[in-house]
Amino acid sequence: MFSFCTDPDTLGTFRWFSCYLTTGVHMSFYIAFFKVLLLLAITAPVALGFGFVGAMAARSRVAPFRWLGKTYIALVRGVPDIAFFLFFVIALDQAFEYLRHKALCPDWDQPIRQGSDFVVCTAAKLPLSTAPQWMHETYGFFLAVITFAIVFGAFAANVLFGGMRAVPHAQLETAEAYGMSHRQTFWRILVPQMWVYALPGLSNLWMVLIKATPLLFLLGIEDIVYWARELGGTKTSRFTDYPHGDWRMWYFLFLLVFYLAFTRVSEIVLERLMLRLTLGQATSGGEAQRKAAA
């Protein structure tokens, strides 16, 4: 990046680090932080949507919907996250390629399952072998978002289901006594009230989601954990012009500081949101605010 970086062997300490930390490879490391933040920004609302639908299904009056919702919550929550991530990404990728194979290659006369191999026609591959690298990375990121959303959506569904059950039943009965339909009672009384009870659990789930972002490394995405290991190692092809010792401890220490700072900011935001939601509510938080104001 700098004009004096042409010959690293002649640089002093400060200039050496200036050149070292501004190489193209390090820029990929910095972009990886954006990937983590983008994953959280997309996954959190999508997972919350999965959770809301799952909670609605779990409390549905229609038995098949209720069974489906409770099965989704129990099944995903009962499987270790790593096992589900590794299985579901492969299964989802093969499902997409299978559907494309059936649509694009109807004349294919060979079995798709050939022993332990999954073989589809070239046109059905996702992405295509001729696709640019950014499409491969975007597709992998897309699979990661769906997987994260389904996994954490099940936990969110359990939290929201508990929040719905925590709303005083007398309020629902009063709404129906005033002539509200079941749908009106749900959207005007139950849903606004449940967030007060669900937010503590959702806050914990948000923290767990932040700590789960290094699982991107297991999905083959070049995230901050991948780059920290790659750039900090002694024997690496990434820095032939800037050889150094084993600096992985410093890179991972930087990740530690990043995650601690991010979770602290999240705690502050969630605390303020909780204060706003509990204002005037018949909860312990609302009672504490009333006493403080008296």
CATH number of the domain residue 38 falls in: 1.10.3720.10
List the structure tokens of 118.
Answer: 């999954």
| Mean pLDDT value across residues 203-218 | 86
162 lies in the same domain as 276: no
284 lies in the same domain as 161: no
Contacts of 4 (CB under 8 A, 6+ apart): 11, 15, 19
204 lies in the same domain as 252: no
Q: Which of 10-19, 152-161, 278-287 has the lowest mean pLDDT?
A: 278-287
162 lies in the same domain as 288: no
Which of 176, 199, 222 is the endpoint of a domain? 222
Phi, psi (rounded to 5 degrees) for 118: -110, 110
Inside any domain, residue 17? no
Alpha helix segments (H runs only) across the chain: 13-20, 24-58, 63-77, 81-104, 133-166, 169-177, 182-185, 191-212, 224-232, 248-278, 284-293
140 lies in the same domain as 176: yes
Alpha carbon of residue 262 to chain centroid:
15
Positive or negative torsion for Cα 34, 36, 42, 48: negative
Provide the domain limits for residue 250.
Answer: 227-294
List the structure tokens of 26.
Answer: 């390090």
Q: What does DSSP assign to residue 2?
A: -
pTM over the 0.85 mark: no
Query: By CB neighbour count within 10 A (0-12 exposed, 13-18 middle, 19+ buried), where does 114 fall?
Result: exposed
Q: Which of 40-54, 61-75, 114-128, 236-250 has the lowest mean pLDDT?
A: 236-250
For residue 264, is pLDDT > 60? yes
pLDDT digits (tens, 9 = 90+) for 29-68: 888 899 889 999 999 999 999 999 999 999 888 899 999 9
217 lies in the same domain as 231: no
- 127, 135 Cβ separation under 8 angstroms: yes
240 lies in the same domain as 210: no
Which of 169, 191, 222 is the endpoint of a domain? 222
Tell me the C-alpha distance between 227 and 24, whole Å. Answer: 12
What's the confidence (pLDDT) of residue 68? 92
Higher pLDDT: 15 or 180? It is 180
List the structure tokens of 50.
Answer: 């999965």
Which of 164, 197, 222 is the endpoint of a domain? 222
52 lies in the same domain as 143: yes
Higher pLDDT: 181 or 245? It is 181
Inside any domain, residue 92? no
The amino acid sitting at 87 is F
76 lies in the same domain as 185: yes
pLDDT digits (tens, 9 = 90+) for 126-181: 887 777 877 888 888 888 888 889 989 999 999 999 999 888 888 888 888 888 88
61 lies in the same domain as 186: yes
Total domain count, the chain: 2
Other CB atoms within a 10 A radius of the CB of residue 154 amount to 24
167 lies in the same domain as 217: yes
Quick check: helix, strand or coil at residue 147?
A: helix
191 lies in the same domain as 259: no
Tell me the C-alpha distance between 110 and 122, whole Å. Answer: 13
